[in-house]
Amino acid sequence: MGTALLTDRYELTMVQAALTDGTADRRCVFEVFTRRLPSWRRYGVLAGTGRVLEALRSFRFEPEELEWLGRERVVDDRTLEFLAGYRFTGQVTGYAEGETFFPSSPVMVVEGTFAEAVLLETLVLSVLNHDSAVASAASRMTSAAVDRPCLEMGSRRAHEEAAVAAARAAAVAGFVGTSNLEAGRRYGLRTIGTAAHAFTLLHDDEESAFAAQVAVAGPRTTLLVDTYDVARGVERAVRIAGTGLGAVRLDSGDLGVQAVEVRKQLDSLGATGTRITVTSDLDEYAIASLAAFPVDSYGVGTKLVTGSGAPTCGMVYKLVAREGTSGELEPVAKAATSKTSVGGRKTAARQLDENGRAVAEVVVGGPDALVASWRPTTDDLRPLHVPLVTDGVVDDRWTGAAGVGAAAERHTASREELPRGARRLSTGEVALPTTTLTLD
């Protein structure tokens, strides 16, 4: 299926009106940014860039879609013809996926004719708003977990395709496994999972369920021990799998207290190498509160895939410059009442101190040609924009499994570079102030 109809009707009606009055070919620059972060977030994490690029490759109006648009009279014949031949031929630059961002950070810049660039608005925002919301939550979780692995298990609490994207976004922010099979197949992620309570309940007793699982998965498997009574479950698990049992999973009750008891019991049974994994409505705060307890890994579901209080990112796609009658790119911006934005193309850099620690987000503006070609001339500025699409051709480094791997590396490095306070979970100021640099 193509991705072109995953868009708002007004993109198409605007194209029709612009084709009619001759403005459709005006060169335009659109910028993606967010006006604010949730009050409890010190930084955002950009995710979805690779998916935007993959979707751009499939952004074609297929014959049956055109037929439907014509039948519904969404647009006229001339516009249908334009859509039938649509290929994005412009430029996309932006923050590398996995990079941290702040209010006003120009995380993506799309340049092309009005008609070709405006059509991408909804799809670009859908992907970036969803994936960045999940990655921003995920980063706080992996941060709170310190060196204990986090595993993504939220598919059932998200739309079935959003679940795949959520697993991918979690991987960008440091999760090391997902329960979602399609995410494993599509993006080369490690998949995890052994059994649910239903498997125990299917059997006549817990022993036969454990025995069946160990028979096929081996003693290194993870046994779910809280279907009936945790202490008896642990005892049976070790009896059946042996002291080489891989792990036990706790999915209910007071996880910290139970983990202490289960650890003691496992050790007393000689299963000193058996790990304890916990699941059950975890979020970053619950993970942080479990830091002092003998837990070996965290399985996170609902709160991860719903962005832990912020299920979308509030990113917008704004026209910031367009070709005027002179043929030059001119800055434009909405003026009325609220929701104003700053006109003109922007790029950005992260300012670092002598230790390589980030001290500011520098948004660079000024005359279009200067901004478009700007590179820092001093070592204290790390440029943030990378080319993503050049003359319509997607840069493959950012797509597929390789793109997810690169994004995860970028995120680790970017988060590491932030001031220490960035990892605080409490409500407070964003980790970096945004400054502006105006070229002239």
Residues 289-308 that bind a copy of itself (CB under 8 A): 302, 305-307
Among 80, 84, 176, 217, binds a copy of itself (CB under 8 A): 217
135 binds a copy of itself (CB under 8 A): no
Which two structure tokens, joined as six digits, stand for 7? 């868009």
| Contact status, residue 279 vs residue 157, Cβ threshold 8 Å | no
**DSSP-assigned states of every residue in 49-73:** HHHHHHHHHT----HHHHHHHHHTT
212 binds a copy of itself (CB under 8 A): yes
Q: Where are the alpha helices (DSSP H) in 269-399?
A: 284-289, 302-305, 368-372
Biggest CA-to-CA distance, the chain: 82
Name the nearest CA neighbour of 209 among 235, 237, 232, 234: 237
Opening angle at CA 201, ends 156 and 290, nearest 5: 55
227-246 residues in contact with a copy of itself (CB under 8 A) are: 227-230, 233
Among 55, 135, 287, 418, binds a copy of itself (CB under 8 A): 55
Q: Which is nearer to a copy of itself, 119 or 349 (CB)?
A: 119
Q: Which is nearer to a copy of itself, 96 or 223 (CB)?
A: 223
Site string for a copy of itself, 5-44 (x = CB under 8 A): xxxxxxxxxx-xxx-xx-x--x-x-x--------------
80-109 residues in contact with a copy of itself (CB under 8 A) are: none
Rounded Cα distance, 434 and 440, in Å: 20
Among 93, 100, 126, 274, binds a copy of itself (CB under 8 A): 126
Which two structure tokens, joined as six digits, stand for 75? 């647009």
Return the number of other C-beta atoms located less than 10 Å from residue 323's C-beta.
17
260-289 residues in contact with a copy of itself (CB under 8 A) are: 280
Span near a copy of itself by CB under 8 A; candidates 35-43, 99-107, 161-169, 430-438: 161-169
Name the nearest CA neighbour of 138 among 103, 174, 162: 174
257 binds a copy of itself (CB under 8 A): no
- Strands 150-152 and 177-178 turn out to be parallel
325 binds a copy of itself (CB under 8 A): yes
Query: CB-based contacts of 373: which residues, under 8 Å, 6+ apart?
Result: none
| Contact status, residue 126 vs residue 9, Cβ threshold 8 Å | no
- Using CB atoms within 10 Å of the CB of residue 72, give its burial: 0 to 12 exposed, 13 to 18 middle, 19+ buried: exposed
332-361 residues in contact with a copy of itself (CB under 8 A) are: 332-339
Query: CB-based contacts of 210: which residues, under 8 Å, 6+ apart?
Result: 200, 223, 236, 237, 240, 241
370 binds a copy of itself (CB under 8 A): no
Q: Which is nearer to a copy of itself, 176 or 181 (CB)?
A: 181
164 binds a copy of itself (CB under 8 A): yes
198 binds a copy of itself (CB under 8 A): yes
Span near a copy of itself by CB under 8 A; candidates 139-147, 309-317, 351-359, 426-434: 309-317
Name the nearest CA neighbour of 283 among 263, 272, 264, 299: 299
60 binds a copy of itself (CB under 8 A): no
Q: Which is nearer to a copy of itself, 337 or 355 (CB)?
A: 337
129 binds a copy of itself (CB under 8 A): yes
205 binds a copy of itself (CB under 8 A): no
Name the nearest CA neighbour of 284 among 432, 177, 136, 158: 136
393 binds a copy of itself (CB under 8 A): no
Minimum Å gap between C-beta 336 and a copy of itself is 5
160 binds a copy of itself (CB under 8 A): yes
Rounded Cα distance, 103 and 126, in Å: 18
Q: Which is nearer to a copy of itself, 113 or 414 (CB)?
A: 113
Q: Tell me the site size for a copy of itself, rule CB under 8 A.
A: 108
Span near a copy of itself by CB under 8 A; candidates 2-10, 39-47, 356-364, 388-396: 2-10
165 binds a copy of itself (CB under 8 A): yes
412 binds a copy of itself (CB under 8 A): no
